Chain A
Amino acid sequence: MTTMWKMVRYQARDVARSRWLAAYTLFFAAATEGLLRFAGGSAQALASVASVVMFVVPLATIVFGTVYVYNAREFIELVLAQPVRRRQLFAGLYLGLVLPLAVGFVVGLGLPFALHGVDDPALRAPLATLIAVGVALTAIFTGIALLIAVRTDDRLRALGAAIGIWLACSLVYDGVVLLLVATFADYQLERPMIALMLANPVDLARVALLLQLDAAALMGYTGAVLQRFLGTAAGTATAAAALALWIAAPATLGARAFRRKDF
């Protein structure tokens, strides 16, 4: 077993036992269960759950990731004092956070759906996409959290940066896009819109899901554009590739900063 997996094994155990993770899982279970009961139909429930996922997963993972790494600072030093490579340790740290958070999310969201059953077979692909997109967001925002925590020594500033990035991706970005659309309504905006969508992981995740729901045109300008330009299959592939890039970029930058860091 490589150093990385050894690290993952113990750290994932630590994260899995935290009350935080239990609360996170319970939250998704309760929210999904509630929406399934009261939304009047799986399709509506799925759309509502999706909104919750897009909002909560980035916030919870980026805050938890940042706080966890700060609390683990002395522990990281202790592990770094062992004969291990820094790259392996960072990979272990990253996966040791992503895996339990992803499992918590999937279990919390999946259990109510599994208990109720999905009545409409056409909803299975969107549900699978929602789960995949939620896991991708977990990986992306944990990566960003690690990058922030490695690059910033001040805990409060790091937490501020984490919440700032979440606000920017989840709220501010949509507003800016709408403003641009309104301002440049007389121009051809399709291509800049696609670029804008690829630049925000939360937008990207939302579009990837909406492409599956056949509601792309209804919910969001960028989604409609992507579907019209690329069709569902190519649009989904583009979104998936962009999400993969979004997972790789912060993790790679974080690993590089971690290798050079003084502890």
Chain B
Amino acid sequence: MIDIRRVEKAFGAQRVLQAVDLAIAPARVTAIVGPNGAGKTTLIKMIVGLVRPDAGEIRFDGVPIGDGHAHRARIGYMPQIARFPDNLTGAELLAMLTDLRGAACAARRDETLIGALGIERELSKPLRVLSGGTRQKVNAVIAFLFHPELLILDEPTAGLDPVASSTLKDAILASRGAGRTVLLTSHNMGELEELADDVAFLLDGCVRYHGPVHELKRRTRQSNLERAIAEVMLRGVAA
């Protein structure tokens, strides 16, 4: 679905990504893991088109995304930080994004998460009065709102209570069941164990492992993902 080829990115003198090759398989949940500053968010933002690569290219279903914006109609993006305009209500924010997407999207919004997360009443309040967790729920609703073929979730469950977090994880698994592709990052290995089919391990701007979770466990002879990742981190490249 997503083909990342020889992608490089530097911010000033800091080389964030160094010749990253990565192919994200369709209808699977791929987790990007790695220590802080490994380039996870930069990579995700590149796929969305928020950051441009210095070199290399990214293809969406075989088509280079370049400077275009059409591919974003097929992406649902949940950024790491949920901050919205202070004086708009949640409902207005959703209406705005729907307007921006065009008339075709207005008729078929996926509002199941609004009910599942129980934020119907919060949507009529100004966004500035919402708690961090509630804003994160709004953030999740936005990502799922337009039936995206590709869900890109940057630390989706950060700041959510266990109930909301479980609801969101159910929604992610249901999306995969419906044939959608999911790309996510998280620092919670238990959560990834539950969700991820594939894992891409990023360290110092390079992909050190990419493949199925069970394969990583087999190679490192570990029984859970956290220990398997720790093993890769200690040994560098996975064998």
Q: Of all chain B residues, which has the CB nearest A80?
A: B50
Is B100 in contact with A81, judged by CB distance below 8 angstroms? no
Is A14 in contact with B88, judged by CB distance below 8 angstroms? yes
Give B97-119 interface residues, CB cut-off 8 Å to A.
97, 99-101
A6-B99, A7-B100, A83-B70 known; A77-B50 Cβ under 8 A: yes
State the CA gap A77–B72 with chains docked (Å).
12
A185 contacts the other chain (CB 8 A): no
Residues from chain A with a CB closer than 8 A to the CB of B95 are 10
State the CA gap A235–B11 with chains docked (Å).
48
A13-B92, A81-B50, A262-B11 known; A72-B85 Cβ under 8 A: yes
Give A1-44 interface residues, CB cut-off 8 Å to B.
1, 3, 6-7, 9-11, 13-18
A124 contacts the other chain (CB 8 A): no
Partner of A80, one of B49, B73, B84: B49
Give B165-182 interface residues, CB cut-off 8 Å to A.
none
Is B51 in contact with A263, judged by CB distance below 8 angstroms? yes
Partner of B77, one of A81, A84, A85, A86: A81
Count of chain A to chain B residue pairs whose CB atoms are closer than 8 Å in the complex = 87
Is A262 in contact with B50, judged by CB distance below 8 angstroms? yes
Q: Interface residues of A, CB < 8 Å — how many?
A: 31
Is A10 in contact with B72, judged by CB distance below 8 angstroms? no
A78 contacts the other chain (CB 8 A): yes
Q: Interface residues of B, CB < 8 Å — how many?
A: 33
Is B101 in contact with A82, judged by CB distance below 8 angstroms? yes
Residues from chain B with a CB closer than 8 A to the CB of A7 are 96, 100
A75 contacts the other chain (CB 8 A): yes
Is A82 in contact with B100, judged by CB distance below 8 angstroms? yes
State the CA gap A76–B160 with chains docked (Å).
23
State the CA gap A262–B11 with chains docked (Å).
9
Q: Of all chain B residues, which has the CB nearest A85?
A: B69
Is B73 in contact with A262, judged by CB distance below 8 angstroms? no
- B53-72 to A contact mask, C-beta < 8 Å, 1/0: 00000000000000001111
B45 contacts the other chain (CB 8 A): yes
CB distance from A15 to the nearest CB of B (A): 8
CB distance from B89 to the nearest CB of A (A): 10
Listed in ascending order, the chain B residues whose CB lies under 8 Å from chain A are: 11, 45, 48-52, 69-73, 75, 77, 79, 81-88, 92-93, 95-97, 99-101, 126, 142
Listed in ascending order, the chain A residues whose CB lies under 8 Å from chain B are: 1, 3, 6-7, 9-11, 13-18, 71-75, 77-86, 260, 262-263
Extra inter-chain contacts (10) besides given A10-B85, A13-B87, A81-B50, CB under 8 Å: A10-B93, A10-B95, A18-B87, A71-B83, A74-B82, A74-B83, A78-B142, A81-B48, A83-B71, A262-B52
